[in-house]
Structure 1
Amino acid sequence: MATITPFQGLRYDEKKAGNIKELVTPPYDVIDADAQEGYYQINPYNVIRLEYGKITPSDNDMDNRYTRAADFFRKWQSEGILKPEDQPAIYLYQQQFDVDGRTMVRTGIICRVKLEPYENGVVLPHEETMPKHKADRLALMKACGANFSPIFGLYTDPERQIDRLLLNAVQNTPGSFDFTDEHGLGHRLWVITDQALVEQVQQLMQEQRIFIADGHHRYETALNYALQNPDNIAAGSIMMTLVNLYDPGLVILPTHRMVVESNVDKQQLLANLQEDFAVEKITATDVGQITELMNRLAEFQGNGGTAHRQVFGLYTGENTYYTLTLHDEEIINRKMPAEKSTAWRRLDVSILQKLILENQLGIDMQTVAAGDVIKYTRDAQEAIQAVDQGQCQMSFLMNPTLIAEVTEVATNGEKMPQKSTFFYPKLITGLVINKF
Structure 2
Amino acid sequence: MPRVSAVSADDAEESRYGDAGRVAAAGLSLAPFRGLRYDPQQVSSLAAVTSPPYDVVDADGRLRLETGDPHNVVRLILPRPQPTPESGYRHAAYLLAAWQRKGVLTADPDPALYVYEQRTPAENGTAGTLQRGLIGALAVSGAQAGVVLPHEDVMPRPVADRVGLMRTTKANLEPILLTYRGDGSAADVIERAAEGPPLLTTTTSDGTTHRLWAVTDPGDQAVVSKDLSTCRALIADGHHRWAMYLRLQREHRYLAQSPWDRGLVLLVDTARYPLRVRAIHRVLLQLPVKQALSALDDSWTVSDAGGGTLDSALAALEAAKDAGLNAFVITGDGRFRLVTGPDAATLDAAVPADRPEEYRRLDATVLHSVLLDRVWKVPDNPDHIGYLHDAAAAVREAEQIGGTAVLLHPVAEGVVRRLAEQGVTMPRKSTSFGPKPATGLVLRSLLLG
TM-score, length basis structure 2 = 0.85
Counterpart secondary structure, 1:163: helix
Structure 1 residue 109 displacement after superposition? 1.0
Structure 1 residues 6, 120: CA separation in 2 closer, same or farther (over 3 Å shift)? closer
The reply on whether 1:15 has 2:31 as its aligned counterpart is no
| 1:155-214 deviation per Cα after TM superposition (whole angstroms, max 9, x unaligned) | 124x6543233113322x232111111222211111111211111111111111111111
Amino acid at match of 1:410: A
Match of 2:394 among 383, 387, 392: 383
CA contact (8 A) 1:255 1:378 kept: yes
Return structure 1 stretches of 4+ with deviation > 6 angstroms: 327-331
Structure 1 residue 254 displacement after superposition? 1.3
Structure 1 residue 343 displacement after superposition? 2.4
| 1:107-128 deviation per Cα after TM superposition (whole angstroms, max 9, x unaligned) | 2210111004699521111111
Structure 1 residues 119, 95: CA separation in 2 closer, same or farther (over 3 Å shift)? closer
The reply on whether 1:100 has 2:124 as its aligned counterpart is yes
Match of 1:115 among 140, 146, 149: 140
Structure 1 residues 55, 114: CA separation in 2 closer, same or farther (over 3 Å shift)? same
| 1:315-368 deviation per Cα after TM superposition (whole angstroms, max 9, x unaligned) | 25242x2222337778655652224222211211111222222221123xxx21
Structure 1 residue 18 displacement after superposition? 4.3
Aligned to 2:235: 212
Structure 1 residues 120, 381: CA separation in 2 closer, same or farther (over 3 Å shift)? closer
Residues paired across the two proteins, number: 415
Structure 1 residue 19 displacement after superposition? 2.2
Aligned to 2:81: 55
Structure 1 residue 432 displacement after superposition? 0.9
CA contact (8 A) 2:29 2:144 kept: no
CA distance in 1, matches of 2:391, 2:424: 28
The reply on whether 1:259 has 2:316 as its aligned counterpart is no
Aligned to 1:245: 270
Could you tell which deviates more after superposition, 423-432 or 71-80? 71-80
Match of 1:165 among 185, 189, 209: 189
Could you tell which deviates more after superposition, 324-333 or 12-21? 324-333
Equivalent residue runs for 1:272-421 within 5 Å: 272=297, 274-275=298-299, 277-282=300-305, 284-285=307-308, 289-302=309-322, 308-315=324-331, 317-319=333-335, 321-326=336-341, 332=347, 335-363=350-378, 367-368=379-380, 370-392=381-403, 394-421=404-431
Amino acid at match of 2:441: L
CA distance in 2, matches of 1:60, 1:337: 39
Aligned to 1:137: 162
CA distance in 2, matches of 1:266, 1:45: 44
Counterpart secondary structure, 1:344: helix
CA contact (8 A) 1:150 1:429 kept: yes
CA distance in 2, matches of 1:354, 1:118: 32
Counterpart secondary structure, 2:128: strand
Aligned to 1:432: 442
Structure 1 residue 31 displacement after superposition? 2.0
Equivalent residue runs for 1:129-208 within 5 Å: 129-157=154-182, 160-171=184-195, 173-208=196-231
Structure 1 residues 309, 118: CA separation in 2 closer, same or farther (over 3 Å shift)? farther
Show structure 2 runs of 5+ residues with no match.
Answer: 1-26
CA contact (8 A) 1:107 1:249 kept: no
CA distance in 2, matches of 1:22, 1:110: 21
CA contact (8 A) 2:180 2:268 kept: yes
TM-score, length basis structure 1 = 0.87
Aligned to 1:269: 295
CA distance in 2, matches of 1:177, 1:92: 11
The reply on whether 1:126 has 2:151 as its aligned counterpart is yes
